[in-house]
Amino acid sequence: MPILFSKIMNIQKIALLTSGGDSPGMNACIRSIVRSAISQKKKVVGIMRGYEGMIHGEFVELNARSVSNILQRGGTILKTARSKAFMTPEGMKKAYDNLCREGIEGIIAIGGDGTLKGAVEFNKVNNIPFIGIPGTIDNDLFGTDYTIGFDTALNTIIDAVDKIKDTAASHDRLFFVEVMGRDSGCLALYSGIASGAEEILMPEQKTDISALVEKLKESVQRRKTSSVVIVAEGDDGGGAFKIAEAVKKSFDYDIKVTVLGHIQRGGSPTAKDRIMATRFGAEAVNALLSGQTNKMTGWNGKEVTLIDLEKVVKQHNPFDKRLVSYNYFLSL
């Protein structure tokens, strides 16, 4: 069940940070956290540049006006960074000392796998309550069906692929389009299905160049004049350029490669991302104030849930094999 307005704990001051790769919807989440906490008479402090800012004492007070007009903005007003220093005993001690000096009694961190691993390690040696919120375009975190930024990134990819297909059809070309996702193929799978890709190459499945070439040749025989292959950046074939070069050796066709890159992280968040970010933010505050710690907010398709951070960082999201199977007949 949702955690809405549970029994309130005596936490008076909450710190908020964004860490790791940015994702559209983080600002909507920041807005929700700040205004939810203020509505419950709590103070909120923003930590600039994630864990790196925690080490260097980069704190800024946030109020209702601090988060005005940010709902529609991509990126994060708190900035973000990756911090190797935070994962050292010295770095964690500096961070803890700064939090104590600032009077912080609870922390909410928005980010992906690295952010949540940092929270778990911090909680092993310190006693400040910690709640994580899934913020990554990769949608690869265990325990939640959805992460902030995924829908926006997905729509960015689809828009780009739709445009690429226009020019591919005009020139009778084959395009390999590389998308983000690290070691997860979720973005590749969903964008491939939604954009009508000929093939989808993902880390979860071994890439067989010979089988790919045969499928592309069959497409030509069926009088398809253009094709798009979606490649996840973590695919075992080595990325879109290497795979395209391997295919060229046995497939005489006009082949091009497009790497979408960081445009997938930018842009105004979709309505879905704004709403999900708002849900996660409000429920994270309520979880913290009800005495929860070392948890991540998640989505089970119906409501916000809480998952142990230890489980989140030790497991991977199950791969949607059924959705993969659809591509066999959709690409006919």
**Burial of residue 202 (number of CB atoms within 10 Å: 0-12, 13-18, 19+):** buried
- For residue 138, indicate whether it is catalytic: yes
The span from the CA of 226 to the CA of 132, in Å, is 44
HEC states along the chain? CCCCCCCCCCCCEEEEEECCCCCCCHHHHHHHHHHHHHHCCCEEEEECCHHHHHHHCCEEEECCCCCCCCCCCCCCCCCCCCCCHHHCHHHHHHHHHHHHHHCCCEEEEEECHHHHHHHHHHHHHCCCCEEEEEECCCCCECCCCCCECHHHHHHHHHHHHHHHHHHHHHHCCEEEEEECCCCCCHHHHHHHHHHCCCEEECCCCCCCHHHHHHHHHHHHHCCCCCEEEEEECCCCCCCHHHHHHHHHCCCCCCEEEEECHHHHCCCCCCHHHHHHHHHHHHHHHHHHHCCCCCEEEEECCCCEEEEEHHHHHHCECCCCHHHHHHHHHHCC
Instruction: Work out whether strand 59-62 and strand 174-179 pair parallel, antiparallel, or are unpaired.
Output: unpaired
Torsion, Cα of 293, 295, 298, 304 (10° steps): -30
Phi, psi of 294, deg, nearest 5: 60, 40
- Which of these is catalytic: 22, 97, 113, 138? 138
Q: Exposure of 178 by Cβ count < 10 A (0-12 exposed, 13-18 middle, 19+ buried)? A: buried
- Residues serving a catalytic function are 138
